[in-house]
Amino acid sequence: MEHPRVLREKGLYKWHAGAPDDASYAAASKELLEKINIQLAELWLNPIITKVICDEKKPSALPPHSEEYVVKAYGQALVELGSIYNNFIVLDADLAADCHLRDFENRFPKRFIEAGIAEQDMVSMAGGLARQGIFPIINSFGSFLASRANEQIYTNACEGSKIICVCHYAGLIPAGPGRSHQSLRDISLFGAIPNMTIIQPCNALETRLALHYCISQATQNCMLRLNIGPSPRIIQLPQEYIFTKGRGAVLTTGDDAIIFAYGPVMLHEASIASEILAKKEFGLKVVNMPWLNLVDVEWLREILGAAAKIFVLEDHSTIGGLGDFLLNQLVSHGLLSGKTFQKFGVVGLPECGRPDEVLKFHGLDGATLAERITNNI
């Protein structure tokens, strides 16, 4: 962002990404108050005097969580892969700290472009660079990139060149910043673009594997969808897991029903639901499905097994996400016969608040999911 202090502070403007801490807020308030009181004194008016009326600490908005951040793993993987592949550059829309791009910027300054708060311009720049044989990876929050620059993303796809779009802050959580930041439409917006593969990894390992696939193996445009907050738990993938196009991984076994989910937040809630139902002798198979608009049909046929109930848990609106895509595939290939299908996701506008209370409000916490699955049966 433009500000006179930018040039004095190495080009960084502190307050676009993240709010001031207590000390900075106090210093800013003091500075403003002093300026106001100087002007009041010139007008022979009494100064404004303030006092602290409440100094209690608010409880943390974060429930118990792991030390893992998939977005941090993404930043580390960018640097690692940047040392192996010198054909890609990284573009950012003034969110380099939040998107964990600083290490790449410092390591490869000539391969990093700061576009500022101008998502449409950034995507257009990427399109021009791609036409010249340069491989761009563009970064912003999903709620800004998917909708604001959708026309430019589509235009780039029409050119047939390869670009990776990384949609950070994907999904419902964190819910504190509210609806402007909760990205719940991006899968549907990207899913309607031809030659676009959409992937959301469930943990740090799968994040590295997904980025490596996008850079070194994918032949078309990719959208990588990343949660920005801490993972509630580290999702444990099977030891034999291989990141394979169109295939996911079974996390918990069960023969009564199957639930597909993606990303660390919703896979955590699906796992809680499975644990609750297991105590009631009901087997819910939990499947991590990172490919959100692509599936290996033979794998899907095998993974369904004898389960009569199919559920999809979205970290997205119930419209246009993985659920709609899988339902289309199930119907098209005759895999729904004798089975029922239901989606769980955000209906209507998302709520703002702590992760636990927002998940519960939308009926997407593990305990409520277990109830909804039981009621469905």
In CATH, what number is assigned to the domain containing residue 129? 3.40.50.970
CATH number of the domain at 259, please.
3.40.50.920
pLDDT number for residue 57: 66
- Rounded Cα distance between 256 and 252, Å, is 12
Q: Verify that 50 and 104 share a domain, yes or no.
A: no
Q: Is residue 243 part of a domain?
A: no
> What tokens were used for 148?
């604001």
Q: Is residue 256 part of a domain?
A: yes
Q: Is residue 232 part of a domain?
A: no
Percentage helix, strand, coil for the chain under 3-state DSSP, each rounded to 5: 40, 15, 45
Series of mean pLDDT values for 10-residue runs along the chain (377 residues): 52 65 85 93 92 68 84 98 96 94 96 94 96 96 94 94 96 86 94 97 98 96 96 97 98 96 98 97 97 98 94 97 98 95 96 94 97 88
> What tokens were used for 145?
């990139």
Q: Is residue 147 part of a domain?
A: yes
Q: Is residue 34 part of a domain?
A: yes
Number of separate domains in the chain: 3
* Cα dihedral sign, 322-117-78-129: positive
pTM (global) more than 0.85: yes
What residues make up the domain containing 301? 249-376
pLDDT number for residue 1: 42
Q: Verify that 257 and 183 share a domain, yes or no.
A: no
Q: Verify that 82 and 183 share a domain, yes or no.
A: yes
> For residues 323 and 311, is the Cβ–Cβ distance under 8 A?
no
pLDDT number for residue 2: 46
- Average pLDDT, rounded, for the chain: 92
